[in-house]
Structure 1
């Protein structure tokens, strides 16, 4: 039995096996927490397998997680399916639609070149089964990368934050069933190219303020995170700076945030859920960031492979869960070797 959260350490489920919920999020349904994400158990270098579906775990304490299996399994017999194991499925997000009583899942699917599109599925229960309702969706006719889905707690309206690939951040209104976009959108944080483009958006709502936590675009290598704040979903956003100001390595404690979990039973507990994709590279943050800046410098081919990425083994990626504290209205994440939910009111 686990009685605490230990960021960066190997996290095992109740059967003693490594948890595979990468690029993940937590949703609470009827008092039970469900942690879901990319299943990378077979994604060793050279395997040709990017993912093996979306896996889900359940818990009542956020420490001990029971494996509930693949809620979105891979499609093994159709190479053209967006769910085939060779397709680059990333960062699933699931929200509940109170009007339709459906759970709606969006998946980012990367293909050759820089084209990134979405697949949308729905289910009657958080654990599925999920049925595809849209494939190869190009929202707003844009290549859509890392994203977050948000439901307004007051009126139930849905919003979709996504990286317009290698360009800027978009906030788009969702349709009433959450399976598409309406066409209304706003643009934020324009940048000329990676690694400066913001990706991995994670939305947080507190005291009538909207926060977006993002990272730079440096592949699996970590980089300094950034927080921005606004009074509305569509901005304008004020950039507040690095979320991890005490991290001398400038790597967000060697992690990348995938989502923020707002604890439903605590007054002010917001948990940054992050992946440590490269646990073997803890001493190379600054070198990796500098290498990426050089790699994407003007005149370089952005698709040129880097030898440093050839042996990335996501089967051993770990997790860094840390509470967010607020210095006034500014979010700050500080390192803790170990912490408990019970520390918070």
Structure 2
């Protein structure tokens, strides 16, 4: 038993659960249920180079203070027996997002599943945040599109749900969810057309503040970190206006070597926390290197060389990935800043 207790956030340092084991909730999010926070994400404990294992299910942790996390186990286990299952450890299951549907009383989880350049979606439902989860829809293409990184949004007023996703290597899509949140209705809007990677925006992380909608996004450079971007809109279907780089003090242009996966609003506070992954904890180069790698990659594609997939650019040991949680600051001129701090506490932010 780990008897020490955290009293602060230490971005980029190893974060242990209450049993003293490294937390495995990558590409994750936090949901609050009846006064308890649940942090869930990709379990990468077995994802080491050469293992052939992309994930070992979705793991979840609980906390009442956001610093100390109890392991609640694997709430969506891997399917070891069926290599075609969306939950097969060999398939690229990424970025689970869970929302509660107050009309059905169900928790709804979306995942994306990668197979080379093909990216499909799967939805699951449960009666409890901790599961068990059952499939609702498997391996489908929302709106007939390949859907990459995404976020789920529920309007707190009317309960309407939205699915914000990267149309792979193209643009961001905001799509209305069906009433049960397990599919899309067909109504959607398109945004942030930045061309091909590394400029295409991915990893959309939504939050709402002061009657406005916000999205934090990253460029598309595989596991290599790049410069984030923030956009804002009056309504979720936009139009979305880019309000700048949230890390203007980061000379490396790598978002402090972090990719934001979601944004948490602390209940009862005007406090928002960007939850990020440092996928390559030992990587220290600047963002220009990642852009160069992708320019070379697309030059090979245009020359007719085989498309081996974006993953050829790096084979990281994601079992060692770290977490970077930082407060979001709002400037009078409309800029949104994610403020680097070596160590910080909730009470440090007004």
Q: Normalising TM by the smaller chain, what interval?
A: over 0.9
User: When the two structures are superposed, what TM-score results if normalisation uses the length of structure 1?
Assistant: 0.96
Q: Secondary structure at the match of 2:193?
A: coil
Mapped pair 1:287 → 2:292 = no
Shift of 1:294: 3.3
The root-mean-square deviation of aligned C-alpha atoms, in Å, is 1.5
Q: How is 1:111-130 mapped onto 2 (pairs within 5 angstroms)?
A: 111-112=115-116, 114-130=117-133
Query: Who is 2:99 aligned against?
Result: 95
Query: 1:287 & 1:309 partners in 2: Cα distance?
Result: 11
Quick one: structure 1 residues 157 and 302, their matched pair in 2 at CA, closer, same or farther if it must change by over 3 Å? farther
Q: Secondary structure at the match of 2:71?
A: strand
For residue 10 of structure 2, the aligned residue among 3, 6, 15 is 6
For residue 160 of structure 1, the aligned residue among 136, 159, 163 is 163
Q: How is 1:131-170 mapped onto 2 (pairs within 5 angstroms)?
A: 131-170=134-173
Gaps of 5+ in 2: none
Indicate if the aligned counterparts of 2:227 and 2:287 stay in contact, CA closer than 8 A.
Answer: no
Query: 1:72 & 1:306 partners in 2: Cα distance?
Result: 27
For residue 341 of structure 2, the aligned residue among 326, 336, 339 is 336
Q: How is 1:194-343 mapped onto 2 (pairs within 5 angstroms)?
A: 194-266=197-269, 268-297=270-299, 299=302, 303-304=307-308, 309-328=313-332, 329-343=334-348
Query: Who is 2:46 aligned against?
Result: 42
Gaps of 5+ in 1: none
Query: 1:147 & 1:302 partners in 2: Cα distance?
Result: 28
Mapped pair 1:52 → 2:56 = yes
Query: 1:64 & 1:307 partners in 2: Cα distance?
Result: 33
Query: 1:22 & 1:215 partners in 2: Cα distance?
Result: 16
Query: 1:89 & 1:49 partners in 2: Cα distance?
Result: 10
Q: Secondary structure at the match of 1:126?
A: coil
Indicate if the aligned counterparts of 1:193 and 1:296 stay in contact, CA closer than 8 A.
Answer: no
User: When the two structures are superposed, what TM-score results if normalisation uses the length of structure 2?
Assistant: 0.95
Query: 1:237 & 1:310 partners in 2: Cα distance?
Result: 32
